[in-house]
Amino acid sequence: MVDAAVEADPDWPETSYPPEAVHLVVEVVSTESEERDRKRKPLLYAEAGIAHFWRVEQGEDGPVVYIYEIDPATKAYFPTGIHHAHLTASAPFPVDIDLTEVDRL
């Protein structure tokens, strides 16, 4: 989720945003991206100071969402929730998703 109020920086490529404009990063893990999405990318996002990171993986019964928030003192993520059938979160914004319906979209 990018803050639309932050003006684009002409020095940043069109596919990138300055870290202070990013409130949430969601990575959807695939077989080919498992190691990157589970290990490398969270480290990069935390180093950049992005406050919220969600990782979505395919579980046995459907999507599983792992939610993390950053500890500003250590610049490391700590887990705040694992959601299987239903995702309810209040940060960085209120969200309520029936994960059992995602495959039907």
- Indicate whether this model's pTM tops 0.85: no
Domain assignment present for residue 86? The answer is yes
Domain assignment present for residue 10? The answer is no
- Enter the tokens of residue 34: 């498992």
Residue 50 phi, psi (nearest 5): -75, 120
The neighbouring-strand residues paired with 12 are none
Q: The domain containing residue 23 runs over which residues?
A: 19-104
pLDDT by 10s per residue, the chain, length 105: 455 555 656 665 666 788 889 999 999 999 999 999 999 999 999 999 999 999 999 999 899 999 999 998 999 999 999 999 999 999 999 999 999 998 776
Do 52 and 68 contact (CB within 8 A), yes or no? yes
Domain assignment present for residue 13? The answer is no
Domain assignment present for residue 35? The answer is yes
Residue 38 phi, psi (nearest 5): -90, -30
Domain assignment present for residue 7? The answer is no
Do 43 and 30 contact (CB within 8 A), yes or no? no
pLDDT of residue 6: 55
pLDDT of residue 57: 97
Domain assignment present for residue 61? The answer is yes
Count: domains in the chain: 1
